[in-house]
């Protein structure tokens, strides 16, 4: 019998085996989400073979060397990518609604031995051979954000929350962007709505928010707040903090996932975010950052260093992924992402079923796939680090739990959602990708009469079942 003294108490430990391992120990080599790349992976790009860590980690170097057109892309990878792939990318961009912009960090993380199947490549570099015809119900602004805009660049849909689009540029341009109607330069297929950083436009947004006492929550997005200057961050942040009824807001950026070195080397920018966050905390208001890691491949040792710095400054970071075919639509892939984010102190918050965005049919998945993956992810880690899988209901219904549909017709691929707190009495429809449907139904979608019949039948069934 052994005795252990703890404070004023003596605890007796007896028996040959006082600890029972009821579950088999996990093999250390299986804990892969803690294995973060710290190699000089960027030196695999021929033009960057001599670039050292101090140079690569510079946010200014990242900006100067961003790939901003197909010619720059070809120059960077022509020695490691096949001529066929290069031509395929050219064809992809000719048909894409988004312009090309990808950071050196993200470009270097692509597996150039198998670029067609790489999850980072799929997000940023379209290839013509993989593009699929758009579903007939796809639109540029499927969420109808502009219809819910009381003033340009401000969307007020939920009773207590507003979306503030401060600018229309980003450090990278994602193929799946739900705001391809405005973000980035005009392309061969899309002329963009202009939402430049403009103090007069911002002033109208602030005026509206001051007049709406029910508003408590603001999302500062765009575009991407990574592109805001430090003084602009202070201007926007302090203006929102000065509105008494605003209780919380979040800066939204993809930047942490694709250019984490900005956090490590752009001191003025980080100081501006910290200043606003610290003032908010003293006012008992919440200021956080929301970011967009979509694959565990995006998370490196550089990511961890950046998140550690934000953590030390008391800045909370949450993650919102987009559920994409060939990127994170496998249960193991998503579980790895969620665990890796938790490991670097980023809270997985949402996983969005891919919006109905033009030019991205090859990336979309079925609602059923999202529900299946969520079941596998739930329980794999702590509940507060388990994301909620949602459908952002087309037509302005807002975010609905993916599994909360009123009716889901797997044959036609139509799921029907309601949003009583947002738009009471309305029914919103989401559509699975055409490839997931049988040929007869695919053909029916291209027939306006049959399309209307399918929609009416499914919505009427949903109304009959609605409680």
Pairwise CA distance, residues 385 & 143, whole Å: 27
227 contact partners, CB below 8 Å, separation of at least 6: 167, 169, 170, 171, 197
Helices (H) and strands (E) in the chain, counts: 16, 14
Nearest to residue 412, comparing CAs of 461, 349, 465? 461
Element containing residue 304 per DSSP (H, E): helix 301-312
Check if the beta carbon of residue 182 is closer than 8 Å to that of residue 195: yes
CA geometry: angle 178, 183, 187, nearest 5 deg:
105
Pairwise CA distance, residues 58 & 60, whole Å: 5
pLDDT in tens, the chain (467 residues): 555 555 555 555 555 667 888 888 889 999 999 999 999 999 999 999 999 999 999 999 999 999 988 888 888 998 999 999 999 998 988 887 667 889 999 999 999 999 999 999 999 999 999 999 999 988 766 666 667 789 988 999 888 999 999 988 888 888 887 755 545 444 444 443 456 778 889 999 999 999 999 999 999 998 899 999 999 999 999 999 999 999 999 999 999 999 999 999 999 999 999 999 999 999 999 999 999 999 999 999 999 999 999 999 999 999 999 999 999 999 999 999 999 999 999 999 999 999 988 889 999 999 999 999 999 999 999 999 999 999 998 888 889 999 999 999 999 999 999 999 888 999 999 999 999 999 999 999 999 999 999 999 999 999 998 86
What are the distances in angstroms from CA 412 to CA 23, 40, 366, 408, 448?
A: 44, 48, 11, 9, 14
Check if the beta carbon of residue 188 is closer than 8 Å to that of residue 100: no
Check if the beta carbon of residue 165 is closer than 8 Å to that of residue 251: no
Q: How many CA atoms lie within 13 A of 13 on its CB side?
A: 9
Give this prediction's pTM: 0.90
Check if the beta carbon of residue 451 is closer than 8 Å to that of residue 444: yes
Domains of the chain (ranges, CATH numbers): 41-130 (no CATH), 146-404 (3.20.20.70), 407-467 (no CATH)
């Amino acid at each position: 019998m052994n005795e252990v003294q703890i404070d004023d108490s003596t605890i007796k430990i007896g028996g040959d085996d006082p600890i029972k391992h009821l579950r088999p120990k996990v093999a250390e080599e299986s804990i892969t989400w803690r294995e973060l790349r710290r190699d000089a992976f960027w030196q695999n790009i021929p033009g960057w073979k001599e670039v050292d860590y101090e140079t690569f980690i510079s946010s200014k170097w990242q900006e100067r060397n961003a790939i901003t057109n197909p010619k720059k892309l070809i120059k960077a990878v022509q020695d490691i990518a096949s001529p066929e792939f290069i031509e395929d990318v050219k064809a992809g961009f000719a048909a894409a609604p988004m312009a090309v912009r990808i950071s050196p960090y993200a470009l270097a993380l692509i597996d150039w031995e198998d670029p067609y199947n790489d999850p980072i490549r799929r997000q940023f570099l379209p290839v013509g051979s993989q593009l699929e015809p758009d579903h007939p119900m796809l639109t540029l602004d499927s969420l109808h954000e502009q219809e819910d805009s009381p003033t340009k660049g401000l969307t007020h849909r939920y009773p207590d929350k507003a979306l503030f689009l401060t600018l229309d540029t980003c450090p990278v341009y994602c193929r799946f962007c739900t705001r391809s109607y405005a973000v980035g330069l005009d392309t061969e297929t899309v002329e963009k709505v202009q939402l430049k950083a403009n103090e007069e436009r911002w002033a109208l947004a602030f005026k509206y928010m001051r007049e709406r006492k029910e508003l408590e929550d603001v999302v500062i997005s765009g575009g991407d707040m990574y592109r805001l200057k430090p003084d602009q961050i202070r201007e926007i942040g302090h203006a929102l903090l000065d509105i008494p009824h605003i209780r919380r807001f979040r800066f939204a950026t993809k930047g942490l996932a694709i250019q984490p070195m900005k956090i490590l080397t752009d001191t003025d920018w980080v100081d501006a975010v910290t200043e606003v966050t610290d003032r908010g905390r003293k006012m008992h208001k919440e200021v956080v950052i929301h970011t967009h890691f979509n694959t565990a491949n995006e998370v490196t040792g550089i990511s961890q260093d950046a998140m550690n710095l934000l953590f030390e400054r008391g800045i909370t970071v949450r993650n919102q992924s987009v559920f994409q075919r060939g990127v994170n639509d496998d249960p193991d892939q998503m579980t790895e992402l969620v665990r890796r984010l938790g490991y670097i102190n980023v809270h997985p918050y949402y996983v969005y079923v891919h919006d109905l965005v033009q030019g991205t049919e090859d990336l979309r998945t079925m609602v059923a796939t999202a529900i299946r993956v969520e079941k596998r992810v739930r329980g794999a880690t702590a509940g507060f680090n388990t994301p909620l899988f949602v459908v952002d209901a087309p037509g302005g219904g807002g975010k609905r739990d993916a599994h909360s549909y009123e009716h889901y017709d797997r044959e036609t691929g139509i799921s029907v959602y309601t949003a009583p707190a947002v738009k009471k009495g309305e029914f919103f429809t989401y559509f699975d990708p055409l490839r997931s449907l049988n040929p007869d139904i695919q053909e029916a979608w291209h027939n306006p009469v049959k399309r209307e019949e399918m929609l009416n039948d499914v919505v009427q069934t949903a109304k009959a079942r609605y409680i």
